[in-house]
Amino acid sequence: MNRWKANCRILVSALALGTGLGLGLGLGPAPARGLRDGSYTGRSYSAYYGQVQVRAVIRRGRLARVEVLRAPHDRSTSRYIAHRALPRLEREVIAAQSTRVRHVSGASLDSRAYLKSLQSALDRAI
């Protein structure tokens, strides 16, 4: 029983550190802490039906807000998916202070492009 408890503690610690343990979590290599204050624009990435580009706003060394500069909008379905997924991603990355978040179901391409763009913005804030 003691070995089982020890293994559970190791697993909980690893999850708390955000290692992902191969569970299909997002892209980001590093938490967004200790960043320089300001606004940083990420690169634009393809989400198949359009480009996604974001700007990270850093306050007091932490990710405060993510502004979407570009999102797929040519088709009604693309607009619907972006409108639903991107605000959810913003809430999740701010809560996690990292790009290590799950992709939004049904918006995998938008999620991937969003997280890549955000990570490139965070890399500039280091």
Decide: helix, strand or coil at residue 117: helix
User: pTM (2 decimals)?
Assistant: 0.74
CATH code for the domain of 22: 3.90.1010.20
Closest CA to 54 of 70, 35, 39, 65: 70
Asked if pLDDT for residue 85 goes beyond 90, the answer is yes
Asked if pLDDT for residue 8 goes beyond 50, the answer is no
What is the domain range of residue 98? 2-124
pLDDT interval class at 116 (50, 70, 90): very high
| Domain count of the fold of the chain | 1
The pLDDT value given to residue 31: 54
Tell me the average pLDDT across 84-101. 96
Tell me the average pLDDT across 3-19. 46
The pLDDT value given to residue 34: 81
